[in-house]
Amino acid sequence: MSILNMLPPVKGLLQENADVGKRSWFGTGGPAEVLFVPADMDDLVVFLRNLPQDIAITPLGAMSNVLIRRSGIRGVAIMLGDWFKKIFVDENVLEVGAAVHCNELATVAMYHELGGLEFLIGLPGTVGGAIKMNAGSNGVGISNVMMECEAVTSSGLVKWVRVTDMDFGYRHSSVADDLIITRAWFRGIPNASYSITKRTKELLSKRTESQPTGVRTCGSTFKNPDSKKAWELIDAAGCRGLRIGGAAVSEKHCNFIINEDNATPEDIENLAQSVAQRVFDKTGIALEWEIILLGDK
């Protein structure tokens, strides 16, 4: 029996065997057993409240830091659509839908002359995903500017979570894997003592100069170990330009793995594991994945 027959009716999209891997930033990977794109908040809540408890859910954002293995995602993958892409600005507070891209949030803050969010420019993910992993750059994480967020549990309970209750750390939060962030509130800095537009453009230029663009990649593969840069360890281990199958370590920034020539998920995962092993053999340091791996190996 198809899993679709076990799911409650929805107003939004339900798609069986959805090719989400091809839609990820790596451009490769397995399908979702079912993809659900809710029409609005009510559609999401009602669906979760009536979903059989034995069916797993996996929230997906822009899939800019996700590698989906060939086996794909079992159960229901949930991707927030247009209803969750709104931004409202009230004085120095920004109310932001979780499906808004970080780049757009930084741009809107710049246009409203609100400082503090420039670091988000050029980050590839959505606000929901950025909160989950406390994404950031230049020493600033999204937790530094967030006030609170709205989220829905796997059982359809809507809750509000303050930033102080989310146990944020470096590329980490205590957000449960099946908790779906739907909105967040950020505080900008009015009357900043610097040019927000100039700072935003400088950060974007710096990112473009130092990182590969226009290629299929999911950003930093590994987290920076304590007081060290992952890319420096990878470079010192002789991994710049290393290849397995269609996957390659970027020549421009060697903490980036690129789908260079129709790489499979196995190519990318095996290359990352080879890099991590070479770094460990040389330094004794075990690199930790920053990219999220989904699906059974």
The per-residue pLDDT for 18 is 97
Mean pLDDT within 246-254? 97
- The verdict on whether 220 is a catalytic residue reads yes
Domain with 280 in it:
212-294
Contacts of 235 by beta carbon, 8 Å cutoff, 6+ apart: 254
The active-site residue out of 24, 69, 143, 171 is: 171
Classify residue 48 as exposed, middle or buried by CB count within 10 Å of its CB (0-12, 13-18, 19+): buried
Q: Where is the domain boundary, 172, 187, 202?
A: 187
CB 128, CB 62: distance < 8 Å? no
Clarify whether residues 54 and 94 are in a common domain: no
What percentage of the chain carries pLDDT values higher than 70?
100
Q: Can you read off the two tokens belonging to residue 210?
A: 């130092």
**2 pLDDT tier (thresholds 50, 70, 90):** confident
- The verdict on whether 290 is a catalytic residue reads yes
CA torsion, ordered 189, 195, 201, 202, to nearest 10 deg: -100
Mean pLDDT within 36-47? 98
The per-residue pLDDT for 35 is 98
The pairing of strands 32-37 and 73-79 is parallel
The active-site residue out of 33, 118, 150, 290 is: 290
Terminal Cα-to-Cα distance of the chain (whole angstroms): 25
What value does the CA radius of gyration of the chain take, rounded to a whole number of Å? 20
The per-residue pLDDT for 246 is 98
**1 pLDDT tier (thresholds 50, 70, 90):** low
Clarify whether residues 69 and 33 are in a common domain: yes
In a domain, 200, yes or no: no
Clarify whether residues 110 and 150 are in a common domain: yes
Clarify whether residues 88 and 183 are in a common domain: yes
Tell me the β-bridge partners of 97: 183
In a domain, 198, yes or no: no
Whichever domain contains 12, its CATH number is: 3.30.43.10
pLDDT in tens, 165-224: 999 988 889 888 889 999 999 999 998 899 999 999 999 999 888 899 889 999 899 999
- The verdict on whether 171 is a catalytic residue reads yes
Whichever domain contains 246, its CATH number is: 3.90.78.10
The per-residue pLDDT for 287 is 97
CA dist list (Å): 30 to 1, 16, 23, 225, 267: 21, 13, 10, 30, 14
- Alpha-carbon distance of 104 to 97, in angstroms, equals 11
The active-site residue out of 220, 250, 269, 278 is: 220
Element at 238 (helix H, strand E)? none
The per-residue pLDDT for 124 is 87
Higher pLDDT, 140 or 248: 248
Contacts of 284 by beta carbon, 8 Å cutoff, 6+ apart: none
| Predicted TM-score (pTM) above 0.85 | yes
The per-residue pLDDT for 178 is 83
